[in-house]
Structure 1
Amino acid sequence: MATVAQMLLWAGKELESTSETPMLDARVILAHVIGKDSIYVMTERDVVLPRAHEWVYREAIERRKKGTPIAYITGMKEFMGMDFRVSESVLIPRADTEVLVEKSIEILRDRKEAKVLDLCCGSGAIGLSIAKFVGGSHVVLADISQEAIGVSKENAFMLGLEGRAEFVVSDLFEGVSGSFDLIASNPPYISGEDMEKLPKDVADFEPHGALYGGEDGLDFYRKITENAISHLNRGGVLIFEIGYDQGDEVMDIMKRNGFKGIQLFRDLSGRPRVVFGELVPET
């Protein structure tokens, strides 16, 4: 049997050729396997691992060597300061998407009992984060994937939000009823050209149905914007995550469909990340 230090040393060497952060990966995966935090792994280096843990760890490191994202190995990903369960049926939540959530929270701050739709919800990270930070809000989470809805339900349970969330298996608005104060969506938006340039850990492991947005990457923006009008309350807001080069096109799509006050926001890297507009009340 091996100690924590010995297994970390072995794993770090195994991952050197495939990971930019081999020792960090080794620690994160080991902490997950033994059910401890990273501090324990770094300080209790002489602890001898049970044989069962060693076997599981070796298998996990082999998966990482093949490019499997760490979030799919651990089944968890942090987002907005909370832990979300993920599986290979959903995209891994990214920190850049927090810009969309933060803007949504700001928009809904003064709205009581806001009703929100998270369309193409995946893990539910967007909608459930909004529900967590906007008191009184009620969120409907919709996705075409039954497996994704299952993951969203798990996350709602983990976060104690079951009573404030509904779940719908739906092809965009097909199975969605009612109207909303805010519709948030991080839809598939990778173009045909960019699909061929995706990093290996994305292209080989994350669900292509949640990535490909048509030849120009804008198919879902068109469909959602055209249909959102009949599902928004007057004064309601449609908010999107966008690709780094799609800002002008998405803003134009929203303008042509009657949205007003359209704005673009950038992520922490300075790249265009979020576009939103309001369905202005008729006068």
Structure 2
Amino acid sequence: MADQLPAALGSLLRAARERLAARGIADPALDSRLIVEHFSGTTRTEAIAEPGQTVDSFALAAIESALRRRVAGEPVHRILGYREFYGLRLSLSPETLEPRPDTETLVDAILPFAKATAGRLGECRILDLGTGTGAIALALLNAVPAATATGVDISLDALATAARNAAELGLGGRFKALNSNWFDKVSGRYHVIASNPPYIRGRDIGNLQDEVRDFDPHRALNGGVDGLDPYRVIAAEAERFLEIQGKVAVEIGHTQKNEVTGLFTAAGYSLAGAHRDLGDNDRVLVFERGKP
């Protein structure tokens, strides 16, 4: 049985941090603060200015439950039910990946083109394949007021989550959720086709970090035997849905640059940009149709 948590906010934060640290959690100070603030409805400023303020019993029970889940290995943002991405708060659900900072590289890579297209044409139509929480599409919509986006996913749970996120961010009028296996039910043409597809080799999923292996949906991770199956589909089929002078942007595993580039080159594309993430790993490739 865990020790009873203290009710004073400052002491509560210390006790939560010490419990997570004792169980080997990688960043106990951050995780304990996120949990305590979220479930008590307090802020960091309050913890500093009013450390003696009392946290009620209902909040203490919720914090206790959350700490137990964190100690058991569940990622802190799964416990909170949301994660920040590109300055937006996005709700999570069981069939969505947590949007991670590496994927912000994809938004950075394609955003100038999306803005330029909207400026030139008065619109920019975006197709986000495997939309999950809607992270990529919604970040682009938030930054490009003239843009519209269709978020495609095979998971109805993910699509419901993406649509809810769009509505909560005031972007619902420019976002459409589409249940489709890749391009099967897609229609029309788009200036941007973006995707953070599953790219882990099937046999490697068991070797992933516990927090990923045990809590992220495997369907959103498994890229087939060699991790490249989704790129084969996108390279083969995107042209039918891509506007002239449009671009395709994909996130990749850090060892996949040459293989993915080869697939798109064979399908008639040229590499328009290669981008590294904050860890200096190859992370995003941008393609356009090869010049005739």
TM-score for both structures, normalised by structure 1: 0.95
Instruction: State yes or no: 1:115 paired with 2:115.
Output: no
Residues 29 and 70, structure 1, Cα contact 8 Å, conserved in 2: yes
CA distance in 1, matches of 2:30, 2:176: 37
Instruction: State yes or no: 1:247 paired with 2:257.
Output: yes
Instruction: State yes or no: 1:18 paired with 2:24.
Output: yes
Match of 1:173 in 2: 183
1:49 Cα deviation after fit: 1.2
1:51 Cα deviation after fit: 0.7
Instruction: State yes or no: 1:38 paired with 2:54.
Output: no
Closer, same or farther in 2 for the Cα pair 1:23/1:43, shift >3 Å? farther
Tell me whether 240-249 or 191-200 shows the greater mean CA deviation.
191-200
Deviation string 1:101-137 (CA, Å, 9 cap, x unpaired) is: 0111111221130100000000001001111111211
CA RMSD after TM alignment: 1.4
Task: Count matched residues.
Answer: 282
Q: In structure 2, which of residues 253, 270, 283 is the aligned counterpart of residue 260 of structure 1?
A: 270
Aligned residue for 1:265, secondary structure, equals strand
Deviation string 1:15-56 (CA, Å, 9 cap, x unpaired) is: 122311112211110100012323223432211111111111
Aligned residue for 2:207, secondary structure, equals coil
Match of 1:57 in 2: 63
CA distance in 1, matches of 2:155, 2:29: 35
Residues 182 and 238, structure 1, Cα contact 8 Å, conserved in 2: yes
1:192 Cα deviation after fit: 2.5
Match of 1:233 in 2: 243
Aligned residue for 2:240, secondary structure, equals helix
Instruction: State yes or no: 1:6 paired with 2:11.
Output: yes
Aligned residue for 1:142, secondary structure, equals strand
Q: In structure 2, which of residues 106, 111, 125 is the aligned counterpart of residue 105 of structure 1?
A: 111
Match of 2:151 in 1: 141
Match of 2:3 in 1: none
1:153 Cα deviation after fit: 0.8
- Displaced runs of 4 or more, over 3 A: none
Structure 1 residues without counterparts, runs of 5 or longer: none
CA distance in 2, matches of 1:36, 1:179: 46
Instruction: State yes or no: 1:214 paired with 2:224.
Output: yes
CA distance in 2, matches of 1:23, 1:98: 25
Match of 1:186 in 2: 196
CA distance in 1, matches of 2:44, 2:221: 32
Aligned residue for 1:233, secondary structure, equals strand
CA distance in 2, matches of 1:210, 1:108: 26
Aligned residue for 1:204, secondary structure, equals helix
Amino acid of the residue matched to residue 16 of structure 2? A
CA distance in 2, matches of 1:226, 1:43: 58
Residues 90 and 133, structure 2, Cα contact 8 Å, conserved in 1: yes
Amino acid of the residue matched to residue 221 of structure 1? Y
Structure 2 residues without counterparts, runs of 5 or longer: 1-5
Aligned residue for 1:182, secondary structure, equals strand
Calculate percent identity across the aligned residue pairs.
Answer: 35
Amino acid of the residue matched to residue 91 of structure 1? L
Residues 234 and 280, structure 1, Cα contact 8 Å, conserved in 2: no
Residues 236 and 280, structure 1, Cα contact 8 Å, conserved in 2: no
